[in-house]
Structure 1
Amino acid sequence: MIASYNREFVGDVLLVELTTESAVKTKLERHGDLVLLQEESTSEVKGFNLFNASKYVELDGVVGNVEISKEFVASIEKAIAESGAALDLNVDFSPKFVVGHVVELGDHPNADKLHITKVDVGEDELLQIVCGAPNVAQGQKVVVAKIGAVMPSGMVIKESALRGVESFGMLCSARELEIPNAPQVKGIMILDDSAQAGTPFKA
């Protein structure tokens, strides 16, 4: 789940994405203040807009991305129930910014400046991530933004293909993470070797 709110520019409307996959063709289904955004061919709900959002959710001081907490989701579930809509929220509360260990590093077959990494993020399988940082190397501990992570810039990390090679996340620089006094140079952030793969990263 990815949620955003900007009362000044959008109004009292909470915008929620339930998947990083865009709908091919969208149809709308309204239930009071709740408008479901559905894939027309399958009726799968890709997201929704909640109007008069501040009536349902505590949003004081929120501008931009909304932190997805259990309390926030509980408020949303209550609003959905009050609207009469049938929608189950299966929210992944696992951290989206984690420590990664670069286990493998190879050249990209179609781009001299890109590398293909296999990264341990504490899960059963390694993540394949295409990276263009000049300082990436095998054995490093790095910061990984997983699929569904929302960068400080507002960019959502999605599954992608870079020059024909699939990538399932991003290796982050200190500048991209907006860490204070981050060096304004190209290159990912290298963590101390004692950092444990899969543990949450907090700037």
Structure 2
Amino acid sequence: MGGNETPPNNNTSDNDELSEVKGKLGFNERPGFEAILIKIVYRKGPKLGLIIRNYENCVMISRLDAGSLCAEKLIVGDRLVAVDGEAAKDREQTKKIILKGFSKRRKCTFLIERPQSSEAKLWAKTAILSSSTRTSSTAPREKHKWKLMTAQQRQAAKLLAAKEARNLPQNEASSSALSSNAVSASGGKNDSQRKDD
């Protein structure tokens, strides 16, 4: 998913911490993915720059702002498994955990699952490019909202057309009707064109 591949984690204490977090969550990485523990510490200057989205009960990193804190260590297509030891269940809940971590401790620890195999990278790319992540529970409400908005637009168009018809001067309206009738009665030709025939 990018050239920012993180080198294997050889630090024993980091491996122990990773094992501890995975054990606490009961998490086992999927084949083709690598579980990585990433710490991001707030510092003045760059913004966080992290955009996440829901996909198939996962929280995915869908965009990273260039030069941001997260762009230094994360990659688009990483799956957020947990933040500060708390499972990342959905986008809104994950945002709250991240904001809480940075506001209280000025840092967050992310457990991510990074795609390594070509199949895993394809899955991550599909997750990022998928169009809609709406659940079926919100879809009917959205459908009703669009239907209502369309009806309001149609009504506004009718009112505008009626207003324009009232504002059209009577002579202009009748003369345009006469000229269009004259053209259609002569087979599409007006009086000056018929004289030449």
User: Which TM class, normalised by the smaller chain length?
Assistant: under 0.3
Q: TM-score normalised to the size of structure 2?
A: 0.22
If you compute each CA radius of gyration, which structure gives the higher value, 1 or 2? 2
Higher percent of residues as helix = 2
Q: TM-score normalised to the size of structure 1?
A: 0.21
Higher percent of residues as strand = 1
RCO greater where, 1 or 2, for CA within 8 Å and sep 6 or more?
A: 2
